[in-house]
Structure 1
Amino acid sequence: MKQANNNRLYRILEWIMWMMYLNILWIGGWILGLGILGFFPATMATVVTIREWREGDGDLSFTKTFFRAWKKHFIKANVFGYFYLLIGFILYIDYFWLLNLESSFASVLFVLFILLVVLYVVSLLYLFPVYAHFDTGFFQTIRHAIILGFFSPIMTILMGICLAVIAFTWLKIQGLIVVVGVSVPLYFVTSLALTAFHSFKEKQDLLVENESLKKGEKSNA
Protein backbone atom coordinates (compact mmCIF):
# COMPACT_ATOMS: atom_id res chain seq x y z
CA MET A 1 0.00 0.00 0.00
CA LYS A 2 2.82 2.37 0.96
CA GLN A 3 4.69 1.47 -2.24
CA ALA A 4 1.57 2.18 -4.32
CA ASN A 5 1.16 5.59 -2.65
CA ASN A 6 4.82 6.39 -3.26
CA ASN A 7 4.46 5.45 -6.93
CA ARG A 8 1.35 7.59 -7.25
CA LEU A 9 3.12 10.54 -5.62
CA TYR A 10 6.11 10.06 -7.91
CA ARG A 11 3.88 10.10 -11.01
CA ILE A 12 2.14 13.28 -9.82
CA LEU A 13 5.45 15.02 -9.15
CA GLU A 14 6.80 13.84 -12.50
CA TRP A 15 3.69 15.19 -14.26
CA ILE A 16 4.10 18.57 -12.53
CA MET A 17 7.76 18.66 -13.55
CA TRP A 18 6.90 18.01 -17.20
CA MET A 19 4.14 20.62 -17.11
CA MET A 20 6.66 23.16 -15.85
CA TYR A 21 9.17 22.16 -18.51
CA LEU A 22 6.56 22.33 -21.29
CA ASN A 23 5.65 25.81 -20.11
CA ILE A 24 9.32 26.83 -20.36
CA LEU A 25 9.45 25.39 -23.89
CA TRP A 26 6.29 27.31 -24.81
CA ILE A 27 7.82 30.56 -23.54
CA GLY A 28 10.98 29.77 -25.52
CA GLY A 29 8.97 29.13 -28.69
CA TRP A 30 7.00 32.33 -28.15
CA ILE A 31 10.20 34.39 -27.76
CA LEU A 32 11.81 32.62 -30.72
CA GLY A 33 8.96 33.87 -32.92
CA LEU A 34 9.47 37.41 -31.59
CA GLY A 35 6.22 37.20 -29.65
CA ILE A 36 3.69 38.05 -32.33
CA LEU A 37 4.78 35.22 -34.66
CA GLY A 38 5.70 32.78 -31.92
CA PHE A 39 2.48 32.46 -29.93
CA PHE A 40 0.60 30.07 -32.23
CA PRO A 41 3.59 27.92 -33.33
CA ALA A 42 4.58 27.53 -29.66
CA THR A 43 1.01 26.49 -28.82
CA MET A 44 0.90 24.03 -31.71
CA ALA A 45 4.29 22.57 -30.75
CA THR A 46 3.10 22.12 -27.16
CA VAL A 47 -0.02 20.29 -28.36
CA VAL A 48 2.08 18.04 -30.64
CA THR A 49 4.45 17.22 -27.77
CA ILE A 50 1.57 16.43 -25.40
CA ARG A 51 -0.02 14.24 -28.06
CA GLU A 52 3.20 12.26 -28.58
CA TRP A 53 3.56 11.91 -24.81
CA ARG A 54 -0.04 10.80 -24.31
CA GLU A 55 0.09 8.34 -27.19
CA GLY A 56 2.79 6.44 -25.32
CA ASP A 57 6.15 7.26 -26.90
CA GLY A 58 8.44 6.14 -24.06
CA ASP A 59 11.61 7.49 -25.67
CA LEU A 60 10.12 10.92 -26.32
CA SER A 61 12.47 13.90 -26.17
CA PHE A 62 10.30 16.87 -25.20
CA THR A 63 12.82 19.42 -26.44
CA LYS A 64 13.44 17.82 -29.85
CA THR A 65 9.75 17.07 -30.41
CA PHE A 66 8.74 20.61 -29.45
CA PHE A 67 11.20 22.49 -31.66
CA ARG A 68 10.77 20.09 -34.58
CA ALA A 69 6.99 20.70 -34.43
CA TRP A 70 7.55 24.46 -33.95
CA LYS A 71 9.59 24.62 -37.14
CA LYS A 72 7.36 22.26 -39.14
CA HIS A 73 4.06 23.95 -38.28
CA PHE A 74 5.30 27.55 -38.00
CA ILE A 75 3.46 28.93 -41.04
CA LYS A 76 0.28 26.87 -40.74
CA ALA A 77 -0.07 27.50 -37.00
CA ASN A 78 0.08 31.25 -37.63
CA VAL A 79 -2.42 30.96 -40.49
CA PHE A 80 -4.86 29.03 -38.28
CA GLY A 81 -4.26 31.28 -35.30
CA TYR A 82 -4.65 34.62 -37.02
CA PHE A 83 -7.60 33.39 -39.07
CA TYR A 84 -9.43 32.51 -35.84
CA LEU A 85 -8.29 35.76 -34.27
CA LEU A 86 -9.85 37.64 -37.20
CA ILE A 87 -13.10 35.68 -36.89
CA GLY A 88 -13.15 36.38 -33.15
CA PHE A 89 -12.67 40.10 -33.79
CA ILE A 90 -15.53 40.09 -36.31
CA LEU A 91 -17.80 38.34 -33.80
CA TYR A 92 -16.79 40.90 -31.17
CA ILE A 93 -17.79 43.77 -33.50
CA ASP A 94 -21.03 41.99 -34.43
CA TYR A 95 -21.94 41.65 -30.76
CA PHE A 96 -21.93 45.41 -30.20
CA TRP A 97 -23.71 45.95 -33.51
CA LEU A 98 -26.49 43.59 -32.40
CA LEU A 99 -26.80 45.34 -29.03
CA ASN A 100 -27.60 48.60 -30.80
CA LEU A 101 -29.83 47.04 -33.45
CA GLU A 102 -33.45 48.11 -33.32
CA SER A 103 -35.31 45.68 -35.50
CA SER A 104 -38.01 43.03 -35.28
CA PHE A 105 -35.38 40.52 -36.42
CA ALA A 106 -32.94 41.45 -33.63
CA SER A 107 -33.87 38.48 -31.42
CA VAL A 108 -33.55 36.04 -34.33
CA LEU A 109 -30.19 37.49 -35.31
CA PHE A 110 -29.00 37.28 -31.71
CA VAL A 111 -29.90 33.57 -31.54
CA LEU A 112 -27.97 32.99 -34.78
CA PHE A 113 -25.08 34.96 -33.33
CA ILE A 114 -25.02 32.74 -30.20
CA LEU A 115 -24.97 29.64 -32.41
CA LEU A 116 -22.04 31.07 -34.38
CA VAL A 117 -20.16 31.81 -31.16
CA VAL A 118 -20.72 28.24 -29.92
CA LEU A 119 -19.53 26.91 -33.28
CA TYR A 120 -16.48 29.16 -33.09
CA VAL A 121 -15.54 28.17 -29.54
CA VAL A 122 -16.05 24.43 -30.09
CA SER A 123 -13.98 24.39 -33.29
CA LEU A 124 -11.29 26.51 -31.59
CA LEU A 125 -10.99 24.01 -28.73
CA TYR A 126 -10.38 21.13 -31.15
CA LEU A 127 -8.43 23.03 -33.83
CA PHE A 128 -4.81 22.43 -32.81
CA PRO A 129 -5.38 18.90 -31.42
CA VAL A 130 -7.11 17.93 -34.70
CA TYR A 131 -4.28 19.34 -36.81
CA ALA A 132 -1.63 17.74 -34.58
CA HIS A 133 -3.37 14.35 -34.79
CA PHE A 134 -4.50 14.22 -38.42
CA ASP A 135 -2.18 16.77 -40.13
CA THR A 136 -4.88 17.68 -42.69
CA GLY A 137 -5.42 20.75 -44.88
CA PHE A 138 -6.75 24.11 -43.71
CA PHE A 139 -10.50 23.75 -44.34
CA GLN A 140 -10.47 20.01 -43.67
CA THR A 141 -8.95 20.63 -40.23
CA ILE A 142 -11.63 23.19 -39.39
CA ARG A 143 -14.37 20.85 -40.63
CA HIS A 144 -12.99 17.95 -38.56
CA ALA A 145 -12.72 20.21 -35.51
CA ILE A 146 -16.39 21.18 -35.81
CA ILE A 147 -17.61 17.62 -36.46
CA LEU A 148 -15.58 16.04 -33.68
CA GLY A 149 -16.50 18.82 -31.26
CA PHE A 150 -20.23 18.35 -31.74
CA PHE A 151 -20.14 14.55 -32.04
CA SER A 152 -18.23 14.35 -28.74
CA PRO A 153 -20.41 16.53 -26.48
CA ILE A 154 -19.21 14.97 -23.22
CA MET A 155 -15.54 15.62 -24.02
CA THR A 156 -16.38 19.14 -25.20
CA ILE A 157 -18.28 19.91 -22.00
CA LEU A 158 -15.43 18.45 -19.93
CA MET A 159 -13.01 20.73 -21.78
CA GLY A 160 -15.12 23.72 -20.83
CA ILE A 161 -15.33 22.61 -17.18
CA CYS A 162 -11.57 21.98 -16.99
CA LEU A 163 -10.76 25.37 -18.49
CA ALA A 164 -13.20 27.11 -16.14
CA VAL A 165 -11.65 25.39 -13.09
CA ILE A 166 -8.13 26.20 -14.30
CA ALA A 167 -9.03 29.84 -14.96
CA PHE A 168 -10.57 30.12 -11.47
CA THR A 169 -7.43 28.57 -9.95
CA TRP A 170 -5.16 30.93 -11.90
CA LEU A 171 -7.16 33.92 -10.62
CA LYS A 172 -6.76 32.72 -7.03
CA ILE A 173 -3.08 31.74 -7.37
CA GLN A 174 -1.75 34.04 -10.09
CA GLY A 175 1.84 32.86 -9.69
CA LEU A 176 0.86 29.56 -11.33
CA ILE A 177 0.26 31.38 -14.62
CA VAL A 178 4.01 31.93 -15.03
CA VAL A 179 4.87 28.36 -14.03
CA VAL A 180 2.22 26.24 -15.80
CA GLY A 181 -0.19 28.82 -17.24
CA VAL A 182 -0.18 27.43 -20.79
CA SER A 183 0.93 23.81 -20.46
CA VAL A 184 -1.78 22.65 -18.03
CA PRO A 185 -4.79 23.94 -20.04
CA LEU A 186 -3.29 22.54 -23.25
CA TYR A 187 -2.65 19.20 -21.56
CA PHE A 188 -6.28 18.75 -20.54
CA VAL A 189 -7.69 20.02 -23.85
CA THR A 190 -5.36 17.77 -25.88
CA SER A 191 -5.96 14.72 -23.66
CA LEU A 192 -9.74 15.08 -23.87
CA ALA A 193 -9.55 15.68 -27.62
CA LEU A 194 -7.50 12.48 -28.06
CA THR A 195 -10.14 10.57 -26.09
CA ALA A 196 -12.80 12.01 -28.43
CA PHE A 197 -10.76 11.02 -31.51
CA HIS A 198 -10.33 7.42 -30.36
CA SER A 199 -13.99 7.13 -29.35
CA PHE A 200 -15.11 8.52 -32.71
CA LYS A 201 -12.83 6.07 -34.56
CA GLU A 202 -14.20 3.14 -32.55
CA LYS A 203 -17.74 4.15 -33.52
CA GLN A 204 -16.71 4.43 -37.17
CA ASP A 205 -15.04 1.00 -37.08
CA LEU A 206 -18.14 -0.49 -35.47
CA LEU A 207 -20.37 0.99 -38.19
CA VAL A 208 -18.09 -0.37 -40.91
CA GLU A 209 -18.08 -3.79 -39.24
CA ASN A 210 -21.90 -3.80 -39.00
CA GLU A 211 -22.22 -2.78 -42.64
CA SER A 212 -19.86 -5.59 -43.65
CA LEU A 213 -21.89 -8.10 -41.65
CA LYS A 214 -25.13 -6.91 -43.28
CA LYS A 215 -23.61 -7.23 -46.74
CA GLY A 216 -22.37 -10.72 -45.85
CA GLU A 217 -25.82 -11.76 -44.67
CA LYS A 218 -27.42 -10.43 -47.87
CA SER A 219 -24.93 -12.28 -50.07
CA ASN A 220 -25.54 -15.53 -48.17
CA ALA A 221 -29.35 -15.16 -48.35
Structure 2
Amino acid sequence: MEFGKTSGILFTICEWITRLAYVNLLWLLFSAAGMFVWGIMPSTVALFTVVRKWLLKETGIPVWNTFWKTYRKEFLRANLLGLLLLIPAVLVAIDLMFLKTVAGPLQIALFIPLWTLILCYLLTLLFLFPVYVHYRAGMIDSIKYALFHAVLNPHRSVIMLVAVAAVIFLNLYMTALIPFFSGVMIAAVLMTGGYHSFNRIKGKTVTQT
Protein backbone atom coordinates (compact mmCIF):
# COMPACT_ATOMS: atom_id res chain seq x y z
CA MET A 1 0.00 0.00 0.00
CA GLU A 2 2.82 2.37 0.95
CA PHE A 3 4.67 1.49 -2.26
CA GLY A 4 1.59 2.30 -4.34
CA LYS A 5 1.24 5.68 -2.62
CA THR A 6 4.91 6.51 -3.19
CA SER A 7 4.79 5.45 -6.84
CA GLY A 8 1.68 7.59 -7.31
CA ILE A 9 3.47 10.65 -5.89
CA LEU A 10 6.51 9.99 -8.09
CA PHE A 11 4.28 9.64 -11.16
CA THR A 12 2.57 12.98 -10.37
CA ILE A 13 5.95 14.69 -9.93
CA CYS A 14 7.24 13.27 -13.23
CA GLU A 15 4.01 14.28 -14.96
CA TRP A 16 4.34 17.89 -13.78
CA ILE A 17 8.03 18.04 -14.71
CA THR A 18 7.06 16.91 -18.21
CA ARG A 19 4.24 19.46 -18.44
CA LEU A 20 6.47 22.32 -17.31
CA ALA A 21 9.25 21.36 -19.71
CA TYR A 22 6.79 20.98 -22.58
CA VAL A 23 5.17 24.39 -22.18
CA ASN A 24 8.60 26.00 -21.71
CA LEU A 25 9.77 24.47 -24.98
CA LEU A 26 6.62 25.81 -26.67
CA TRP A 27 7.41 29.25 -25.26
CA LEU A 28 10.92 29.17 -26.73
CA LEU A 29 9.74 27.68 -30.03
CA PHE A 30 6.99 30.26 -30.61
CA SER A 31 9.26 33.10 -29.48
CA ALA A 32 11.83 31.98 -32.06
CA ALA A 33 9.09 31.62 -34.69
CA GLY A 34 8.51 35.36 -34.38
CA MET A 35 12.28 35.96 -34.45
CA PHE A 36 11.95 36.81 -30.73
CA VAL A 37 11.28 40.48 -31.58
CA TRP A 38 7.67 39.73 -32.60
CA GLY A 39 7.34 36.33 -30.94
CA ILE A 40 8.37 36.88 -27.32
CA MET A 41 5.31 38.89 -26.20
CA PRO A 42 2.49 36.71 -27.62
CA SER A 43 4.42 33.61 -26.60
CA THR A 44 4.76 34.91 -23.04
CA VAL A 45 1.05 35.75 -22.89
CA ALA A 46 0.29 32.18 -24.03
CA LEU A 47 2.67 30.80 -21.40
CA PHE A 48 1.00 32.77 -18.59
CA THR A 49 -2.43 31.73 -19.87
CA VAL A 50 -1.53 28.04 -19.54
CA VAL A 51 0.07 28.54 -16.11
CA ARG A 52 -3.00 30.45 -14.91
CA LYS A 53 -5.30 27.61 -15.96
CA TRP A 54 -3.11 25.14 -14.08
CA LEU A 55 -3.24 27.41 -11.03
CA LEU A 56 -7.03 27.35 -11.28
CA LYS A 57 -6.79 23.53 -11.22
CA GLU A 58 -7.69 23.19 -14.91
CA THR A 59 -4.95 20.59 -15.27
CA GLY A 60 -6.68 18.67 -18.05
CA ILE A 61 -6.48 21.45 -20.64
CA PRO A 62 -4.91 20.62 -24.02
CA VAL A 63 -1.64 22.52 -23.69
CA TRP A 64 -0.82 22.74 -27.40
CA ASN A 65 -4.29 23.96 -28.42
CA THR A 66 -4.48 26.46 -25.55
CA PHE A 67 -1.01 27.82 -26.27
CA TRP A 68 -1.47 28.05 -30.06
CA LYS A 69 -4.94 29.58 -29.83
CA THR A 70 -3.75 32.23 -27.36
CA TYR A 71 -0.62 32.96 -29.41
CA ARG A 72 -2.66 33.60 -32.56
CA LYS A 73 -5.36 35.59 -30.80
CA GLU A 74 -2.98 37.81 -28.83
CA PHE A 75 -0.24 38.21 -31.46
CA LEU A 76 -1.10 41.78 -32.44
CA ARG A 77 -2.26 43.07 -29.04
CA ALA A 78 0.66 41.52 -27.19
CA ASN A 79 3.16 43.08 -29.58
CA LEU A 80 1.47 46.47 -29.22
CA LEU A 81 1.78 46.04 -25.45
CA GLY A 82 5.47 45.25 -25.94
CA LEU A 83 5.95 48.45 -27.94
CA LEU A 84 4.12 50.36 -25.22
CA LEU A 85 6.55 48.96 -22.64
CA LEU A 86 9.53 49.72 -24.86
CA ILE A 87 8.89 53.48 -24.95
CA PRO A 88 9.51 54.19 -21.22
CA ALA A 89 12.45 51.74 -21.24
CA VAL A 90 14.11 53.70 -24.05
CA LEU A 91 13.38 57.03 -22.32
CA VAL A 92 14.87 55.74 -19.07
CA ALA A 93 17.99 54.55 -20.91
CA ILE A 94 18.39 58.00 -22.49
CA ASP A 95 17.92 59.67 -19.09
CA LEU A 96 20.56 57.41 -17.52
CA MET A 97 23.04 58.37 -20.23
CA PHE A 98 22.20 62.04 -19.72
CA LEU A 99 22.65 61.64 -15.96
CA LYS A 100 26.28 60.67 -16.54
CA THR A 101 26.93 64.00 -18.23
CA VAL A 102 25.81 66.17 -15.30
CA ALA A 103 27.24 66.52 -11.82
CA GLY A 104 26.56 68.18 -8.51
CA PRO A 105 23.11 69.10 -7.15
CA LEU A 106 21.43 68.67 -10.56
CA GLN A 107 22.52 65.03 -10.75
CA ILE A 108 21.13 64.36 -7.27
CA ALA A 109 17.90 66.16 -8.12
CA LEU A 110 17.44 64.00 -11.22
CA PHE A 111 18.69 60.78 -9.64
CA ILE A 112 15.86 60.24 -7.13
CA PRO A 113 12.85 60.67 -9.48
CA LEU A 114 14.57 58.63 -12.22
CA TRP A 115 15.22 55.65 -9.97
CA THR A 116 11.72 55.95 -8.54
CA LEU A 117 10.45 55.67 -12.11
CA ILE A 118 12.70 52.64 -12.75
CA LEU A 119 11.40 50.96 -9.58
CA CYS A 120 7.77 51.57 -10.60
CA TYR A 121 8.54 50.17 -14.04
CA LEU A 122 10.06 46.98 -12.63
CA LEU A 123 7.20 46.51 -10.16
CA THR A 124 4.69 46.97 -12.97
CA LEU A 125 6.44 44.26 -15.00
CA LEU A 126 6.07 41.82 -12.09
CA PHE A 127 2.27 42.00 -12.23
CA LEU A 128 1.72 42.91 -15.88
CA PHE A 129 1.34 39.47 -17.45
CA PRO A 130 -0.67 38.01 -14.53
CA VAL A 131 -3.02 41.02 -14.74
CA TYR A 132 -3.22 40.84 -18.53
CA VAL A 133 -4.27 37.18 -18.69
CA HIS A 134 -6.43 37.23 -15.55
CA TYR A 135 -8.53 40.35 -16.10
CA ARG A 136 -8.35 40.40 -19.91
CA ALA A 137 -8.29 44.18 -19.71
CA GLY A 138 -7.03 46.63 -22.31
CA MET A 139 -3.33 47.45 -22.60
CA ILE A 140 -3.43 50.75 -20.70
CA ASP A 141 -5.72 49.31 -18.03
CA SER A 142 -3.44 46.29 -17.63
CA ILE A 143 -0.47 48.56 -16.97
CA LYS A 144 -2.46 50.65 -14.47
CA TYR A 145 -3.83 47.58 -12.66
CA ALA A 146 -0.35 46.01 -12.55
CA LEU A 147 1.14 49.10 -10.88
CA PHE A 148 -1.87 49.28 -8.55
CA HIS A 149 -1.35 45.69 -7.35
CA ALA A 150 2.41 46.19 -7.01
CA VAL A 151 2.02 49.31 -4.85
CA LEU A 152 -0.81 47.82 -2.80
CA ASN A 153 1.21 44.66 -2.07
CA PRO A 154 4.78 45.84 -1.42
CA HIS A 155 5.74 42.77 0.64
CA ARG A 156 4.46 40.41 -2.06
CA SER A 157 6.21 42.46 -4.73
CA VAL A 158 9.53 42.10 -2.89
CA ILE A 159 9.00 38.34 -2.49
CA MET A 160 8.19 37.99 -6.19
CA LEU A 161 11.23 40.07 -7.17
CA VAL A 162 13.53 37.96 -4.98
CA ALA A 163 11.99 34.73 -6.28
CA VAL A 164 12.45 35.79 -9.92
CA ALA A 165 16.07 36.74 -9.19
CA ALA A 166 16.58 33.32 -7.59
CA VAL A 167 15.12 31.56 -10.65
CA ILE A 168 17.35 33.56 -12.99
CA PHE A 169 20.41 32.80 -10.85
CA LEU A 170 19.52 29.09 -10.77
CA ASN A 171 19.16 28.98 -14.55
CA LEU A 172 22.45 30.80 -15.06
CA TYR A 173 24.15 28.46 -12.60
CA MET A 174 22.58 25.35 -14.17
CA THR A 175 22.28 26.33 -17.83
CA ALA A 176 20.86 22.93 -18.76
CA LEU A 177 17.59 24.06 -17.13
CA ILE A 178 17.13 27.01 -19.51
CA PRO A 179 15.44 25.14 -22.41
CA PHE A 180 13.08 23.31 -20.06
CA PHE A 181 12.25 25.50 -17.06
CA SER A 182 13.53 29.08 -17.51
CA GLY A 183 10.35 30.86 -18.62
CA VAL A 184 7.78 28.62 -16.99
CA MET A 185 9.41 28.88 -13.54
CA ILE A 186 9.27 32.68 -13.69
CA ALA A 187 5.68 32.54 -14.99
CA ALA A 188 4.70 30.22 -12.13
CA VAL A 189 6.25 32.54 -9.53
CA LEU A 190 4.64 35.69 -10.94
CA MET A 191 1.25 34.12 -11.68
CA THR A 192 1.05 32.61 -8.19
CA GLY A 193 1.97 35.92 -6.54
CA GLY A 194 -0.40 37.82 -8.79
CA TYR A 195 -3.26 35.41 -8.21
CA HIS A 196 -2.96 35.71 -4.43
CA SER A 197 -2.93 39.49 -4.79
CA PHE A 198 -6.08 39.41 -6.95
CA ASN A 199 -7.88 37.25 -4.40
CA ARG A 200 -6.80 39.55 -1.57
CA ILE A 201 -8.18 42.61 -3.35
CA LYS A 202 -11.35 40.72 -4.23
CA GLY A 203 -11.78 39.66 -0.61
CA LYS A 204 -11.39 43.24 0.60
CA THR A 205 -13.93 44.45 -1.95
CA VAL A 206 -16.47 41.82 -0.86
CA THR A 207 -15.90 42.68 2.82
CA GLN A 208 -16.33 46.40 2.22
CA THR A 209 -19.48 45.76 0.20
TM-score, normalized by length of structure 2?
Answer: 0.92
Is residue 195 from structure 1 mapped to residue 171 from structure 2 by the alignment? no
Query: For residues 143-195 of structure 1, what are the alpha-carbon distances to aligned partners after superposition, in whole Å with 9 as ceiling and x for unaligned?
Result: 10100111122221121111111111112111211222211111211111111
| Aligned CA-pair RMSD | 1.7
1:150 aligns with 2:169: no
Distance 1:113 1:149 in 2: 18
**One-letter amino acid matched to 1:194:** Y
Q: Which moved more, 1:13-22 or 1:111-120?
A: 13-22
Taking the TM superposition and a 5 Å limit, the aligned residue runs for 1:158-173 are 158-173=159-174
Quick one: structure 1 residues 138 and 201, their matched pair in 2 at CA, closer, same or farther if it must change by over 3 Å? same
The Cα shift of 1:2 comes to 5.7
Maintained 8 Å contact 2:124/2:143: yes
Give the equivalent residue in structure 2 for 1:23. Answer: 24
Q: Is the 8 A contact 2:131 2:146 kept in 1?
A: yes
8 Å contact kept, 2:53–2:59: no
1:37 matched to 2:38: yes
Gaps of 5+ in 1: 209-221
Q: Kindly provide the amino acid, as one letter, of the partner of residue 132 in structure 2.
A: Y
Q: How does 1:31-180 map to 2 (within 5 A)?
A: 31-180=32-181
1:181 alignment partner, SS class:
helix
Query: Cα offset for 1:101?
Result: 1.3
Q: Please, which moves more after superposition, 140-149 or 7-16?
A: 7-16
The amino acid of 2:76's aligned partner reads I
Matched to 1:73, the amino acid is: E
Separation of aligned partners in 2, 1:19 and 1:182: 9
The structure that has the greater radius of gyration is 1
The CA distance in 2 between the partners of 1:135 and 1:24, in whole Å, is 25
CA distance in 1, matches of 2:193, 2:16: 17
Q: After TM superposition, what 4+ stretches of structure 1 lie above 3 angstroms from structure 2?
A: 1-11
Question: SS state of the match for residue 70, structure 1?
Answer: helix
For 2:109 and 2:178, how far apart are their aligned partners in 1? 39
Quick one: distance in 2 between partners of 1:146 and 1:4? 44
Cα distance in 2 for partners of 1:137, 1:156 equals 22
Q: TM-score, normalised by structure 1?
A: 0.87
Deviations 1:58-104 (A, max 9, x none): 43111111111111111111111122123212212211211221252
The question of whether the paired residues in 1 share the 8 Å contact of 2:92 and 2:118 is answered with: yes
* Distance in 2 of aligned mates of 1:134 and 1:110: 35
Residue 102 to residue 57, structure 1, CA distance change in 2 (3 Å): same
Which runs of 5 or more residues in structure 2 are unaligned?
none
How far did residue 12 of structure 1 move?
Answer: 2.9
How many equivalent residue pairs? 208
Residues in 2 aligned to 1:75 and 1:155: alpha-carbon distance in whole angstroms? 31
Shift in Å, 1:10: 3.3
Question: What do the CA deviations read for 1:28-63 (whole angstroms, capped 9, x no partner)?
Answer: 221332432111100110001111111122431111
- One-letter code aligned to 1:82: L
